[in-house]
Structure 1
Amino acid sequence: MSITPETIDAIADMMREAARVEILPRFRRLDDADVAEKTEASDLVTVADTGAERMLKAGIEKLLPDALFVGEEGVAADPSLLSKLKDADLAVIVDPIDGTFNFAHGISAYGVMAAVVKGGETVAGLIYDPMGDDFMIAEKGAGAFLKRADGSSSRMTVAAPVPLAEMLGTASVAFMPQQHRAELLANTAKVRYAASYRCAAVEYRAFAAGGLHFFTYFKLMPWDHLAGVLIGQEAGGHIARYDGSPYRPQHLDGGILGAPDKESWEELRAKVFTI
């Protein structure tokens, strides 16, 4: 089955509707009973996550009945679902709320993410911002675009390269290897700053829009990164695992680093992110 622009638009409509029905009405209105810990205090799930994923799953199964649906909360309930991704001819991977910790604490840095994988390759990526009601959308080989609620759109382009000391970026420290954490954090003093917004949807958006010169992550769950990596690449960025190999849907570790071009990537890898 081919993935057409109309298919991608239909997925975008589902994401917006799930946010309208399940997410936005609960923002800053969650009760204690609406929030639960998964693996630790910073790893949360809310009734908005589960409700939005349930809506998206139903919609995707109707739109693409032959596709494997992989959602973050579905995998939390059945980890074996994740292993099916590498053999799927067609799959849709969804993070119903990326940045749940922020969402649960009333911080408006969160988003909804979806990626379409065909033949083991990401062919479409979508990041929806419910607060701004706009999307970043990329099709492989067709560029990355910001699409607004009024129907207008603009092409996304990563920042121009700058010297290391002027680079702005994000570094997710939560899953850094413990034995290297102090060294890596000290190395970030070599750039202008390295922040963390605790939300890949926000960070990929900022990178593709030219607001950041780099990002890095160490844990690679597909719902967190497939959409953002494609969007960043289609916006012109150089993104690879720490060993320089391409990031693929089946990769769950090995770290990932993004920069405006290969030269910037290599300098960051050699001087800052040295593990």
Structure 2
Amino acid sequence: MDRVAEILAEAAAEVVEPRFRALATGEVLEKAPGEVVTIADREAEAIIERRLRELLPIPVVGEEAVAADPSLARALHSEPAVWLVDPVDGTSNFVAGRPEYAVMCSLVRTGQTVASWIWQPATATAYRAELGAGAWRDDVRLTRAPAPADAGKLTGILKSRFLDPDHHRRLEANSSAFGEVSPGRSAAGIEYPDVVEGRFDFILYWRTLPWDHAPGSLLLTEAGGVAARLDGRPYRPEAPGGEDGLLVAADPATWELTRAVLMGD
């Protein structure tokens, strides 16, 4: 567990942090409509992949490698164990000079996340979780306190970018029942720890790319929270293009209440 955390911090120090607010012309590219990638993403992924393979020689499913060759994501289902890597989560923030970005990794065995790591370079904060062994911020074990039982006192995030118009209208209207709902911080590696630490009580995600959600979902569930599909099935990482919709919440009661309010049940 410690060595993987070191690998993420080392890669960030070598090629990510030196480029924060210092990206040169040509070091930011559009990899898909509305989505950017930087030289820091690609170089960090290469470093992390090489060092993870030295630690445990299994396939590495990295965000940027899959962008170039989508077939690599099949390893999530075809291999008994894989590393999942997001070299710079929150790339849009990184490009804009905002400090809300993270470097993340997960270990997935037989389709289930069994360990995860989140490194937040701006604050030098390390989060990690191990299935059945708990969630940690640096050396502090994390336990999420129950959220308020009143929907009007809950605070959350509604990620609406990838919602179809009908879902968007319904969810936006229903979300008015909560105390406060924001569009989020544009980085799952910041948002999941925010729920664990009590800054938010729930998040509704729609698109669920595995490298974005495997690390934080394990961190949250090991701290006592819930990360589940809208029908209640626990989250498991899937290749891009799979199922949409993921609701994460501080505790089981908050998950049920939030789902009922958002869905209009």
TM range (shorter): over 0.9
Q: Deviations over 1:227-251 (max 9, x none)?
A: 1000000010022101111111226
User: TM-score, normalised to structure 2's length?
Assistant: 0.95
State yes or no: 1:157 paired with 2:143.
yes
Q: Percent identity?
A: 38
Q: Deviations over 1:138-166 (max 9, x none)?
A: 0001110101xxxxx11112242211111
Equivalents in 1 of 2:83, 2:164: separation in Å?
Answer: 30
1:237 to 197, 221, 225: 225
Segments of 5+ residues of structure 2 without an aligned counterpart are none
State yes or no: 1:221 paired with 2:209.
yes
Aligned pairs for 1:61-76 (under 5 A) are: 61-65=53-57, 67-76=58-67
**Aligned counterpart, 1:21:** 14
State yes or no: 1:198 paired with 2:186.
yes
Q: Tell me how far 1:260 sits from its aligned partner.
A: 2.0
Q: Kindly provide the amino acid, as one letter, of the partner of residue 190 in structure 1.
A: A
Q: For residues 102 and 274 of structure 1, do their structure 2 counterparts lie closer, same or farther at Cα, with a shift above 3 Å needed?
A: farther
Equivalents in 1 of 2:161, 2:175: separation in Å?
Answer: 15
Q: Tell me how far 1:178 sits from its aligned partner.
A: 2.5
**Aligned counterpart, 1:4:** none
3-state SS of paired residue (2:126): strand
Conserved in 2, the CA contact under 8 Å of 1:204 and 1:228? Answer: yes
Equivalents in 2 of 1:134, 1:270: separation in Å?
Answer: 34
1:131 to 122, 129, 136: 122
Conserved in 1, the CA contact under 8 Å of 2:75 and 2:82? Answer: no
How many residues end up aligned between the 2 structures?
261
**Aligned counterpart, 1:54:** 46
RMSD of aligned residue pairs (Cα, Å): 1.4
Conserved in 1, the CA contact under 8 Å of 2:175 and 2:261? Answer: no
**Aligned counterpart, 2:164:** 177
Q: For residues 125 and 274 of structure 1, do their structure 2 counterparts lie closer, same or farther at Cα, with a shift above 3 Å needed?
A: farther
Conserved in 2, the CA contact under 8 Å of 1:157 and 1:210? Answer: no
Report which stretch shifted further, 119-128 or 254-263. 254-263
Conserved in 2, the CA contact under 8 Å of 1:159 and 1:213? Answer: no
Q: Kindly provide the amino acid, as one letter, of the partner of residue 80 in structure 2.
A: D
Q: For residues 36 and 273 of structure 1, do their structure 2 counterparts lie closer, same or farther at Cα, with a shift above 3 Å needed?
A: farther
2:100 to 109, 112, 117: 109
3-state SS of paired residue (2:60): strand
State yes or no: 1:259 paired with 2:249.
yes
2:26 to 33, 48, 65: 33
Equivalents in 2 of 1:39, 1:181: separation in Å?
Answer: 22
Equivalents in 1 of 2:173, 2:6: separation in Å?
Answer: 43
User: TM-score, normalised to structure 1's length?
Assistant: 0.91
Conserved in 1, the CA contact under 8 Å of 2:143 and 2:196? Answer: yes
Equivalents in 1 of 2:111, 2:24: separation in Å?
Answer: 40
Equivalents in 2 of 1:37, 1:258: separation in Å?
Answer: 30
Equivalents in 1 of 2:244, 2:97: separation in Å?
Answer: 32
Q: Kindly provide the amino acid, as one letter, of the partner of residue 158 in structure 2.
A: A
State yes or no: 1:209 paired with 2:201.
no
